[in-house]
Amino acid sequence: METLEFQAEARQLLQLMVHSIYSNKDIFLRELISNASDALDKLRLAKLQDGLEADTSDLHIEIETDAEARTLTVRDNGIGMTRDEVVALIGTIAKSGTAELLGKLKEAKEAKENPELIGQFGVGFYSTFMVADKVILVTRKAGTEGHGTRWESAGEGTYTIDDEPDAPVGTTITLHLRPKDEDDALYDYVDEWKIKEIVKRYSDFIAFPIRRVSSGDGEPEVLNSQKALWARPRSEVTDEEYHQFYRHISHDWTDPLEIINMKAEGTFEYEALLFIPSRAPHDLFQRDARRGLQLYVKRVFIMDDSKELIPDYLRFVKGVVDAADLSLNISREILQQDRHIQMIRRRLVKKVLSTIKDLMSSSPEKYATFWREFGRAVKEGLLAEPDNHKPILEIASFATTHGSEPTTLAAYVERMKEGQEEIYFLTGESRSQVENSPHMEAFQAEGYEVLILTDPVDEIWVDAVPEFEGKKLRSIARGTVDLKKDEEEKEPEGDFAPLLGFLKEKLDERVKEVRLSHRLTTSAACLVSDADDITPALEKMYRAMGQ
Ligand code: ADP
Ligand code: MG
């Protein structure tokens, strides 16, 4: 037997669990069932795709309780884990951004706020320590010979790991429940009704039977309906059921902002159930983050994170696509080239964008939340999908000199002044920096509205998007902006000629030209780029990237 230490981050997370940061402890069972369900999916898939020899005729999850011993056991006959996997998967937290998130969690806990944050995180297996003071995991990986593995921990600094000769294939997790606390009615997890209630509430849609076994009293009872949620008509599914399913697939604790059902019949059949989250995950802009949708073929789980089904700029969309006519053996490589998948992807994009557009009128508040959380990602689509410029611009909003609320381009165009033909914008690092830019002076003085673009991606897409509703997008930092119709160019230098000459000579190589301008009202001078030069901020960005 070996005693090992939890990795530092894992230890911190365990601490938070033991000192219970969730008020709702019931969720530990949901987490165990979710893991068991994943393990069953994996076993079925390994058999289908890798030819693993395994009996998949009775894939199931069992829940057994012992009131006297105060234990609760969750058992699955899924893929199981090797000893190394147990150490790697249970002893450490591999997810990126963990340390940072833990810091925030601790702050939230200290501030006694309800730390919803943890939901972003999928605390998973460790949530068992909210209700148990000892957890034993016995597992054997499918397809391996010899012994299995036994893992045991009290959720403090260490765990033990040992061989377990007779472990069946799959994983069994036994919780020794904490002593019953007089004040705490939640510790009823050995009661039949409690187990039934939790399974019904959180795990009804799980595709495998969840059986309750109790010593002696006959046939095990199946506690869940096992109905695939995406296959059921929307009118028959409660919001609560959708929300639980969303949690199962997304590990997000907050309810989704919007739910989208799709169904296509005919030559290529598929069903989709998509969720737009109500807040951005902490790793939205991290390269190695999990993203994409789950792919099923005729109710059989095929893969997670299927990037082929949704473009990168909509990577925050969660959900399931169940296609009827794909092969169960389909690989990622084939998926990328599959014509039908590309068609599904186009339809999903269209549907997501139109759903957001509908929100703008049906629920402006939800729309505002959406854009605040995901706008930065969505704007990447202006670079990635020229064909979708129009629908993306239609759902975009931008900070503006017209008031403190963001504006849509359509609203901007409505407000354009007589004779104004272009949409003016200025990019920069922050609102105040942009507002105080000398470039802004003449526009402010003349009462022109200017969009304030401060996201890094703004620097790039503005060059890729020529116009909106026939109005050109125009940076007020570039070239000559003819607020006063061509006068700028023709302004006679007159008495200023010697000064301009002097400045040009002094600044020499550093500027192309020194000219008189209308664009300033209080500043004496400002720097402008040529119309086709890159903006100063973009120049800075490139320089920062070492180019
Ligand atoms: P997550 O499910 O988000 O990955 P968990 O903490 O719930 O995080 O589980 C960590 C990992 O441990 C899982 O990803 C899985 O690889 C492994 N695991 C947990 N439970 C089981 C199980 N019943 N069977 C096989 N592997 C499991
Ligand atoms: Mg899990």
**Residue-level pLDDT at 268:** 87
Q: What is the pLDDT of residue 394?
A: 97
Q: Under a CB-based contact definition with an 8 Å cutoff, are residues 408 and 360 in contact?
A: yes
**Å from CA of 82 to ligand 1 middle:** 12
pLDDT, position 313? 96
Q: What is the mean pLDDT of residues 199-214?
A: 91
Q: What is the mean pLDDT of residues 484-510?
A: 70
Q: Which residues are within 8 A (CB) of 508 and not within 5 positions of it... i.e. 6 or more apart?
A: none
Q: Which residues are annotated as a binding site for ATP?
A: 31, 35, 76, 81, 95-97, 120-125, 171, 332
Paired tokens of 182: 């007089």
- Ligand closest to 141 (CA) is 1
Pairing state of beta strands 451-453 and 61-66? unpaired
Query: 20-59: per-residue pLDDT in tens?
Result: 666 778 889 988 999 999 999 999 999 988 899 999 999 9
**Residue 81 φ then ψ, to 5°:** -135, 150
Q: Which residue has the higher pLDDT, 186 or 218?
A: 218
Instruction: For residue range 363-390, list pLDDT tens digits in order.
Output: 999 999 999 999 999 999 999 999 999 9
Q: Roughly what angle, to the nearest 10 degrees, separates helices 364-378 and 339-362?
A: 140
Structure-model confidence comparison of residues 501 and 167, the more confident one: 167
Task: Check residue 250 and give its pLDDT.
Answer: 87
Residue nearest ligand 1's atom 19 by CA: 35
Look at residues 279, 255, 249, 285 and name the one whose alpha carbon lies nearest to residue 97.
Answer: 285
| Structure confidence at residue 12 (pLDDT) | 84
pLDDT digits (tens, 9 = 90+) for 287-334: 777 788 999 998 888 888 899 999 999 999 999 999 988 888 788 888
The complex scores an ipTM of 0.99
Please state the residue numbers annotated as binding site: 31, 35, 76, 81, 95-97, 120-125, 171, 332
- How large is the average pLDDT for residues 52-80? 95
Write out residues with Cβ below 6 Å of ligand 1. 31, 35-36, 39, 76, 78-81, 89-90, 122, 124-125, 171, 251
pLDDT computed for residue 107 by the predictor = 74
**Residue whose CA lies nearest to ligand 1 atom number 14:** 89
pLDDT per residue over 111-135, tens digit each?
666 555 555 555 689 889 989 999 9
Pocket test residue of 9, 16, 35 for ligand 1, highest count of atoms within 8 A of CB: 35
Distance from chain centroid for Cα 143: 34
Helix (H) or strand (E) holding 433: helix 431-435
User: Which band of pLDDT confidence, cut at 50, 70 and 90, is reported for residue 217?
Assistant: low
The verdict on pTM exceeding 0.95 is: no
Q: For residues 370-386, b (16+ Cβ closer than 10 Å) or e, as one string?
A: bbebbbbbbbbbbeebe
